Amino acid sequence: MKKFGLIGYPLSHSFSKKYFSEKFDREGIKDCEYDLYPIQHINEFPSLLKEIGNELVGLNCTIPYKQAVISYLDILSEEANAIQAVNTILFREGKKYGYNTDIPGFESSLKDFVPSDVNKALVLGTGGASKAVLFVLKKLGIQSIIVSRTATDRTISYSDLSDDIISNNPLIINTTPLGMYPHTETYPEMNYKMINSSHYLYDLVYNPGKTLFLQYGEAQGAHIMNGLPMLIGQAEAAWKIWNQ
Catalytic residues: 66
The per-residue DSSP string of the chain comes to -EEEEEEES--TT-HHHHHHHHHHHHTT--SEEEEEEE-SSGGGHHHHHHHH-TTEEEEEE-TT-TTGGGGG-SEE-HHHHHHT---EEEEETTEEEEE--HHHHHHHHHHHHS-TT--EEEEE--SHHHHHHHHHHHHTT-EEEEEESS--SSEEEGGG--HHHHHT--EEEE-S-TT-TT-TT----S-GGG--TT-EEEES--SSSS-HHHHHHHHTT-EEE-SHHHHHHHHHHHHHHHT-
d(CA 123, CA 129) in angstroms, rounded, equals: 10
